[in-house]
């Protein structure tokens, strides 16, 4: 009887992780198609540097205002309305949150658009030539439109998750890259990287539109309200705080890495971006999938006070994640170059492009186990309603990342920036694991 209970939570996690990972795999395939098209038409150079640098601030705004933190804060409150069979109240809350996100993101996007030349020249890519900085600012202004659309889409995705509907939200990341592919094929030859940015806006619209059938099925109703003084909205905003800071630290670190990479010559930003994307494929399929599926179980165990069960479930999940990511990391290091050649080396993406991306990938791969494990360990803290400890250690990790980047970019170039990231995230997850183990041991 005891062994059955011990195995049950993890068995459910493993089974559901396969489903989520399958959806992530489709999204990865769409992203791979996007990269093949971009690599063939633009190669690794100044054009894609401007395109990727232009994404940094829009991504930061989206993550801070309407990214993963929003789901953490919104879903529990929305679910309370559903549990009380108050559909009208649920849709009113969804409308209020959507309206607030649109207003806040639009206001920030307008300010960022007006300040784009200064932000690019002083913060994001000071090492770019003036013409490249001007192009980056122009592309950023177009991409800021997609940020507003993604804000709406994030709220609607959280609504569907509250109704236990996961299929269409899981397919949204699959259709988004297709918009960029369309922009690259039909608008890129005319408008260059600005065509890619328009394609990203189209992809964001697809990301939102694919959710409409399910929203209508569940009786979607929109109202022009904000309800800032209602208990429900105040509770959502209160829960947002710590997670917003955590995500903000992460994206500010990415901006700083782009800042440093922009000083290392044409192609450095793009090489880091592509190396990061390649490392993120196994990290997403393994670490993120396990983290998303395990979190509700960890939270349930923590709420019941079953810390032994939480520790056991986390330990089982971590062992599987490490067992899968260690060979994946070795595979990226050993087979990374031929895989990049097979997938991308055609058109403007020549042998030097392959070598540049492989340099970044090789160093990022050293942090794959850390990145994947962090998805689980951090959620164990969240399950115990502790968002402060992960925030403090994430801030320390960001400082280590930046300092190491400054030290290593001299001898290793942009590869040093990737290595700094791997060292910092590995130290962060080791510190989190040490703290969590001590707290769980003392509480048992």
Among the listed ranges 64-73, 186-195, 248-257, which one has the minimum average pLDDT value? 64-73
In the predicted model, is pLDDT for residue 67 greater than 70? no
For residue 364, what is the DSSP state? H
Quote the CA–CA distance of 396 and 428 in Å, as a whole number. Answer: 8
Mean pLDDT in residue range 409-438: 94
pLDDT at residue 12 is higher than 80: no
Look at residue 1 and tell me whether its pLDDT is greater than 60.
Answer: no
CA distance 252 to 48: 21
How do residues 121-162 score in pLDDT, each as one tens digit? 988 888 888 988 999 999 999 999 999 999 999 899 888 877
* Residue carrying structure tokens 């290091």: 333
Mean pLDDT throughout 324-337? 94
Q: What's the whole-number mean pLDDT along residues 29-50?
A: 83
Rounded Cα distance between 201 and 207, Å, is 10
Tokens of 98: 């959507």
Residue 102: Cβ within 10 Å count: 17
* C-alpha to C-alpha distance for 144 and 176, rounded to whole angstroms: 15
**b (16+ CB within 10 A) / e for 422-438:** bbbbbbbbebbbebbee
Q: What is the pLDDT of residue 2?
A: 40
Q: Percent of the chain at pLDDT above 70?
A: 94
Does pLDDT of 168 surpass 80?
yes
Calculate the CA 293 to chain-centre distance. 16
Q: Are 390 and 378 in contact (CB under 8 A)?
A: yes
Q: What is the DSSP letter of 350?
A: -
| Helix (H) or strand (E) segment spanning residue 417 | helix 414-443
Chain-centre distance for alpha carbon 30: 16
Q: Are 206 and 152 in contact (CB under 8 A)?
A: no
Phi, psi of 80, rounded to the nearest 5 degrees = -60, -40
Q: State phi, psi for 194 to the nearest 5 degrees.
A: -70, -30
Q: Are 317 and 294 in contact (CB under 8 A)?
A: yes
d(CA 315, CA 106): 43
Cβ(109)–Cβ(119) below 8 Å: no
Rounded to an integer, the average pLDDT of 270-278 is 89
DSSP-derived 3-state class of residue 260? helix
pLDDT of residue 304: 75
The number of helices, as runs of H, and strands, as runs of E, in the chain is 18, 0
**253 φ/ψ angles, rounded to the nearest 5 degrees:** -65, -40
pLDDT recorded at residue 215: 94
Chain segment 360-419, per-residue pLDDT in tens: 999 999 999 999 999 899 888 877 778 788 889 999 999 999 999 999 999 999 999 999
Distance, in Å, from the CA atom of 227 to the CA atom of 204, rounded to the nearest integer, reads 27
192: left (phi over 0), alpha (psi -120 to 50) or beta: left
Q: Is 24 exposed, middle or buried (0-12, 13-18, 19+ CB in 10 A)?
A: buried
Q: Regarding predicted confidence, which is higher, 397 or 290?
A: 397
């Amino acid at each position: 009887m005891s062994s059955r209970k011990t195995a049950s939570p993890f068995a459910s996690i493993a089974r559901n992780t396969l489903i989520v990972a399958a959806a992530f795999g489709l999204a990865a395939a769409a992203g791979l198609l996007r990269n093949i098209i971009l690599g063939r038409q633009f190669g690794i150079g100044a054009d894609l540097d401007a395109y990727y640098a232009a994404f940094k601030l829009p991504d930061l705004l989206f993550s801070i205002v309407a990214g993963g933190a929003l789901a953490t804060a919104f879903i529990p409150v929305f679910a309370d309305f559903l549990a009380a069979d108050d559909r009208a109240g649920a849709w009113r809350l969804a409308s209020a949150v959507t309206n607030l996100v649109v207003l806040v993101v639009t206001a920030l996007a307008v300010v960022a658009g007006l300040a784009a030349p200064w932000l690019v020249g002083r913060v994001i890519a000071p090492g770019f030539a003036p013409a490249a900085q001007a192009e980056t600012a122009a592309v950023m202004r177009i991409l800021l439109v997609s940020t507003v659309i993604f804000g709406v889409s994030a709220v609607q995705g959280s609504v569907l998750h509250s109704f236990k509907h996961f299929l269409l939200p899981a397919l949204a990341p699959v259709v988004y890259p297709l918009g960029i592919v369309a922009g690259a094929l039909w608008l890129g030859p005319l408008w260059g990287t600005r065509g890619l940015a328009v394609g990203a806006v189209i992809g964001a619209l697809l990301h939102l539109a694919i959710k409409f059938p399910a929203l209508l099925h569940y009786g979607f109703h929109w109202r022009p309200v904000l309800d800032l003084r209602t208990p429900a909205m105040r509770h959502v905003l209160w829960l947002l705080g710590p997670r917003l800071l955590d995500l903000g630290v992460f994206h500010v670190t990415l901006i700083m890495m782009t800042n440093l990479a922009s000083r290392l010559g044409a192609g450095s930003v793009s090489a880091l971006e592509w190396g990061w994307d390649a490392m993120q494929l196994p990290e997403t399929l393994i670490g993120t999938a396990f983290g998303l599926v395990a979190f509700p179980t960890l939270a349930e165990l923590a709420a019941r006070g079953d810390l032994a069960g939480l520790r056991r479930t986390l330990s089982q999940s971590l062992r599987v994640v490490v067992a899968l990511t260690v060979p994946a990391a070795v595979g990226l290091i050993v087979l990374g170059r031929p895989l990049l050649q097979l997938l991308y080396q055609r058109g403007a993406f020549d042998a030097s492009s392959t070598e540049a991306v492989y340099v970044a990938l090789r160093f990022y791969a050293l942090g794959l186990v850390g990145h994947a494990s962090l998805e689980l360990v951090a959620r164990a803290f969240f399950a115990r309603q502790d968002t402060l400890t992960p925030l403090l250690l994430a801030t320390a990790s960001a400082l280590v990342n930046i300092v190491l980047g400054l030290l290593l970019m001299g001898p290793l170039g942009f590869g040093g920036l990737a290595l700094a990231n791997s060292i910092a995230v590995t130290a962060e997850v080791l510190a989190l694991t040490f703290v969590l183990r001590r707290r769980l041991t003392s509480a048992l």
